[in-house]
Amino acid sequence: MRVLLPCLIACLALAQSPRHIKVYEEPGRFGGWPANHGIWSWNNEILVGFSAAWYENKDIERHQSSSEKPEEPRLARSLDGGETWTIEAPKSLLPPEQGGAAERALDAPINFTTPGFAMTLRAPDIHKGPARFFYSYDKGKSWRGPFKFPTFGLLGVAARTDYTILGPKWLRAFLTASKSNAREGRLFCAETKDGGITWRLLSMIGPEPSTGFSIMPSAMRIKGSEWIVTGRVNQAPASWIEQYRSTDDAKTWVGEGKVANTGAHAGNPPQLLRLRDNRLVLVYGHRSKPYAIRAKLSTDGGKTWGPEITLRDDAAAWDMGYTRSAVRPDGKIVTIYYYNDAPHRERFIAATIWDPGKRR
């Protein structure tokens, strides 16, 4: 019974079989990396960002995308909880390198609790920064920015989008800093209490890796002054998700070790989200055979995690993942990621709608 119990729990967790939906697929394009852009939701309305890069047939060990053409920003929007999607390309989200507005300093505070608020943090070079951010008050239909994000004296800030709103002018962002050798990277937390006019570096998260990297954090406030952060770690040939916990309101962090294996090819970033019954969900991609989108559940604030749940494992190559997820009002989860069905073919954006079951 002990041998069967983890499998039984994992099977029971999925009350229904996951359903897979194609969100974006375009000939000649490489749809990629939603985790670099961000996800936002308002009840059944879900908005997720991704890159519309250009497809290029390359060695199978490399991304099948052109390094000579730009990764153009795109948004996918669903008004029905992820069942159907439309693709948007707002000009106000274009970076300066692609004809967008010039980067500038923020001159008026943001109200982070405005209905319809969304924010995305990006970097022209995701390996070393510098960083910038855009924000929207109308659910991503139009964007203001780009605005400069400080480097805090670090060699670089490689920004992706992960933040927690704590008040009308109070926000914490979780980001990646360049290491002391200018390579990626190390996790840190920054915050603003004046609507983004000024920022301070609140804490570094974990030691600087001597080799490899620790990047792409996903954070969750557990309760009061307790937080956890998960990050993507690569120490070749191994890759995994590492977890840290703070009990002093994100000022200091204690490592809690590996919580998931993410396979070869430098692994995949994690995402944390909370269900309405207060369980936590960890979602991530796995880049070794079978190439898969996976998840785990926790009933105790991330102190322990249940067995892996495989949402799908039918990708044809390692070049996939970078999940972002949203919880629908009915409790189902919509997980978005990039995927493939052949080694040398355009990558597409897909969504999996799945039921995490009830708390037991």
Distance of alpha carbon 40 from alpha carbon 34, whole angstroms: 12
Give the mean pLDDT of the chain. 95
Residue 31 pLDDT: 98
Yes or no: say if 36 and 317 are a contact pair by the CB < 8 Å rule. Answer: no
Q: What is the DSSP letter of 347?
A: -
Q: Which residue has the higher pLDDT, 127 or 286?
A: 286
Q: Where are the domains of the chain?
A: 5-354
Once rounded to an integer, what is the mean pLDDT over residues 294-320? 98
Would you place residue 293 in the very low, low, confident or very high pLDDT band (cuts 50, 70, 90)? very high
Question: Quick check: bond before 217 cis, omega within 30?
Answer: no
End-to-end CA distance of the chain: 18
- Give residue 335's identity as a one-letter amino acid code: T
pLDDT tens for each residue of 117-154: 999 999 988 777 789 999 999 999 999 999 999 999 99
For the cut 80, the answer to whether the pLDDT of residue 15 exceeds it is no
Would you place residue 35 in the very low, low, confident or very high pLDDT band (cuts 50, 70, 90)? very high
For the cut 80, the answer to whether the pLDDT of residue 3 exceeds it is no
Residue 127 pLDDT: 76
Starting at the earlier edge strand, list the strands of the sheet with 144-148.
118-122, 132-136, 144-148
Would you place residue 2 in the very low, low, confident or very high pLDDT band (cuts 50, 70, 90)? very low
- Give residue 99's identity as a one-letter amino acid code: G
CA 20 vs. chain centroid, Å, equals 19
Would you place residue 14 in the very low, low, confident or very high pLDDT band (cuts 50, 70, 90)? low
Q: What are phi and psi of 279, to 5 degrees?
A: -70, 155
Once rounded to an integer, what is the mean pLDDT over residues 330-337? 98
The two tokens of residue 284 are 């991530």
Yes or no: say if 152 and 201 are a contact pair by the CB < 8 Å rule. Answer: yes
For the cut 50, the answer to whether the pLDDT of residue 170 exceeds it is yes
For the cut 80, the answer to whether the pLDDT of residue 11 exceeds it is no
CATH class in words for 5-354: mainly beta
Distance of alpha carbon 71 from alpha carbon 67, whole angstroms: 9
Once rounded to an integer, what is the mean pLDDT over residues 288-306? 98
Once rounded to an integer, what is the mean pLDDT over residues 76-97? 98
- Among the listed residues 261, 272, 254, the one whose alpha carbon sits nearest the alpha carbon of residue 234: 261
C-alpha distances out from residue 146 to 11, 28, 127, 274, 357, Å: 45, 28, 19, 30, 40
Distance of alpha carbon 280 from alpha carbon 219, whole angstroms: 11
Q: Which residue has the higher pLDDT, 359 or 200?
A: 200
Once rounded to an integer, what is the mean pLDDT over residues 28-34? 98
Would you place residue 109 in the very low, low, confident or very high pLDDT band (cuts 50, 70, 90)? very high
Write the CB contacts of 193 (distance below 8 Å, at least 6 apart in sequence).
Answer: 167, 169, 170
Three-state secondary structure call for residue 10: helix
C-alpha distances out from residue 69 to 56, 98, 132, 234, 257, Å: 10, 10, 21, 27, 39
Question: Quick check: bond before 356 cis, omega within 30?
Answer: no
For the cut 80, the answer to whether the pLDDT of residue 8 exceeds it is no
Residues 299-314 as b/e (b if ≥16 CB within 10 A, e otherwise) read eebbeebbebbebbee
Residues 244-266 as b/e (b if ≥16 CB within 10 A, e otherwise) read bbbeeebeebeeeeebbebbbbb
Once rounded to an integer, what is the mean pLDDT over residues 27-49? 98
> Taking the model in full, what pTM does it have?
0.94
Yes or no: say if 268 and 284 are a contact pair by the CB < 8 Å rule. Answer: yes
Residue 124 pLDDT: 87
